[in-house]
């Protein structure tokens, strides 16, 4: 007698081509791509109260990795809104993942790494109080200090009174408040504008507090390339 190895279920819909999968080499593998997407949806359920009736904003959505996770795990959602500054990624997501409950928006706002010629007018593309769960994976890890403070304030405005914010970023103790591409830090050789932006933990949390948010959960260094996880709530 022998047992067959369990097969990984095939995804129920299209997946972005490899060139559109942001966030690390491990996302190039289809199984890992779907598995991590579903994992994050499950974490949003546990940490942020996500349900199929939630209004979810995926800020820095790329080609829709989290949308794939929602599709695979929940099947439906009241409102998934993916927002990104890279039009080719949004175009793919809009053509392949949009449908009832799933929508995507490209915003032409400035980011020195991903959209250096964008407008300086900041937006998270959400009405005040309209978001139950705000997800930003590996977004503040590519953002300057001034934008970080400003965008946390805009996130708070978009959040419902019972909403939660799930973000990752590089934070450490006993380092300068904000640094770009710190030498000898992390697993990569950081190259180009805002490849890695690192905060002193206290400095980042001061931005959080100034925005009217509070830390609900903190997990150090377990995310992509050693980023830390924050779950934030309204103060």
- Residues (pLDDT < 50) of the chain are 1-8
Q: How far apart are CA 203 and CA 196, in angstroms?
A: 16
pLDDT score of 3: 41
In a domain, 22, yes or no: no
In a domain, 69, yes or no: yes
In a domain, 11, yes or no: no
In a domain, 215, yes or no: yes
Q: Residue 110 sits in which domain range?
A: 29-234
Domain at 190, CATH number: 3.40.50.150
Contact 213, 160 (CB under 8 A): no
Q: pTM for this one?
A: 0.93
In a domain, 65, yes or no: yes
pLDDT score of 75: 95
| Digit-coded pLDDT (tens) for 12-58 | 888 988 788 876 667 778 888 999 999 999 999 999 999 999 999 99
**pLDDT, averaged across the chain:** 93
pLDDT score of 37: 95
In a domain, 5, yes or no: no
Number of folded domains that form the chain: 1
pLDDT score of 13: 85
């Amino acid at each position: 007698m022998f047992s067959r190895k369990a097969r990984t279920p095939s995804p129920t819909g299209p997946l972005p081509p490899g060139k559109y999968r942001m966030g690390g080499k491990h996302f190039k593998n289809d199984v890992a791509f779907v598995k991590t997407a579903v994992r994050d949806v499950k974490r949003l359920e546990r940490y942020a109260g996500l349900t199929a009736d939630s209004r979810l904003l995926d800020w820095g959505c790329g080609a829709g990795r989290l949308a794939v996770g929602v599709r695979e795990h929940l099947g439906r959602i009241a409102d998934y809104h993916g927002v990104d500054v890279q039009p080719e990624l949004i175009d793919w997501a809009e053509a392949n993942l949009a449908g009832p409950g799933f929508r995507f928006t490209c915003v032409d706002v400035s980011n020195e790494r991903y959209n250096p010629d964008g407008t300086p007018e900041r937006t998270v593309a959400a009405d005040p109080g309209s978001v139950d769960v705000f997800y930003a994976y590996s977004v503040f890890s590519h953002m300057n200090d001034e934008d970080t403070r400003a965008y946390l304030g805009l996130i708070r405005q978009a959040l419902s009174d019972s909403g939660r914010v799930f973000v990752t970023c590089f934070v450490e103790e006993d380092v300068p408040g904000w640094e770009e591409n710190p030498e000898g830090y992390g697993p990569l050789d950081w190259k180009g504008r805002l490849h890695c932006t690192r905060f002193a933990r206290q400095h980042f949390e001061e931005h959080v507090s100034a925005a009217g948010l509070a830390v609900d959960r903190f997990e150090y260094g377990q995310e992509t390339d050693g980023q830390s996880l924050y779950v934030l709530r309204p103060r």
